[in-house]
Amino acid sequence: MNLFRTMLAITAFAFSASAAAFDHTHAAWDALLKKHVKVIDGGKASQVRYADFAKDRAALKAYLAEVSKVTPAEFAGWPKAGRMAFLVNAYNAYTVELILTKYPDLKSIRDLGNIVFNSPWKQKFFTLFGEPYWLDRIEHDTLRKPGAYDEPRVHYAVNCASIGCPSLREEAFVASRLEAQLEEQAKRFLSDRTRNRFNPASGKLEVSEIFKWFKEDWASGYKGLSNGAPVTSREQYFGRYADLLADKPEHRKLVADGKAPIDHTAYDWSLNDAR
């Protein structure tokens, strides 16, 4: 029994030491975001001060160095929310770093490579978990991997450095507040009428193209209804936010009942720069 307790204590200590090896408050990244992200339009969107970020590039690289040190075993020992917050912050920080490699000589992240043959999201410009990684590997192969997180609101959290994308949050994502942060990001984005709205003239619900590109994510059984029931369609999901998407009661009812035809707004790939 004493040997068992000793082994248990050693295991607990090892886990504690591993967990303490990485700062789960993401304080360094949080400080950079608070300093260089400008919230606009009443919180519905944000702009990034890339010119000022460039002056703090050493601090950004130092944070990314800590991110890169995390081992697969260490990562696996974290709670689900901690793993997701880590991946989202890593994606966003590496995206900023990618922009800075050519800033200010670009107007869009798509200027960094041909979408088909040299996509910015497929460039292996960093190391994670001891392996070559790229942005799409974080988002699509890890965060969106079926059964891993099953959280479509990740699309409101990862930022592609573009005006059309849900805003780069002005603080780091953290496990203890992840649910609240994701939901706030959802409400901010869905209340932005430049990208998501019910159009009385057409009678259609016009939403961002991310809801077309990743349509299946909102039909995969995500438990996003107020009663905990699974969401099985985009129409059902948007119904939850009818008050944000439409003004008149009759239009809100159409959206809430899932009866508004869905169309998509044009995606703006311009750099989300504050200059």
Strand pairing category for 126-128 and 131-133: antiparallel
Strand pairing category for 45-48 and 37-40: antiparallel
Q: Is residue 234 part of a domain?
A: yes
Radius of gyration of the chain (CA): 20
- What average pLDDT does range 6-17 have in this prediction? 42
- Residue 143 identity (one-letter amino acid): L
pLDDT digits (tens, 9 = 90+) for 100-158: 999 999 999 999 987 667 899 999 999 999 999 999 999 999 999 999 999 999 999 99
Q: Is residue 61 part of a domain?
A: yes
CA distances from 206 to 219, 233, 256, 257 (A): 18, 16, 14, 16
Which DSSP state fits 238? H
Q: Is residue 272 part of a domain?
A: no
For the chain, what is the domain count?
A: 1
Q: Is residue 153 part of a domain?
A: yes
Bridge partners, 118 (sequence order): none
Q: Is residue 18 part of a domain?
A: no
* Domain housing 175: 26-264
The pLDDT score that the predictor gives to residue 176 is 97
The pLDDT score that the predictor gives to residue 225 is 55
Quick one: what percent of the chain has pLDDT higher than 70?
A: 89
Q: Is residue 10 part of a domain?
A: no
pLDDT digits (tens, 9 = 90+) for 174-221: 999 999 999 999 999 999 999 999 999 999 999 999 999 999 998 876
- Residue 183 identity (one-letter amino acid): E
Q: Residue 1 burial (CB < 10 Å; 0-12/13-18/19+)?
A: exposed
Q: Record the tokens describing residue 229, joined without a space.
A: 């029931």
CA distances from 259 to 204, 237, 255, 270 (A): 9, 12, 6, 33
| Closest by CA position to 96, among listed 144, 48, 138 | 48
The SS3 assignment for 110 reads: helix
pLDDT digits (tens, 9 = 90+) for 52-91: 999 999 999 999 999 999 999 999 999 999 999 999 999 9
- What average pLDDT does range 161-167 have in this prediction? 97
The pLDDT score that the predictor gives to residue 231 is 82
Q: Is residue 157 part of a domain?
A: yes
Predicted confidence (pLDDT) at residue 9 exceeds the cutoff of 60: no
Q: Is residue 5 part of a domain?
A: no
The SS3 assignment for 193 reads: coil
The SS3 assignment for 219 reads: helix
| Closest by CA position to 267, among listed 200, 208, 185 | 208
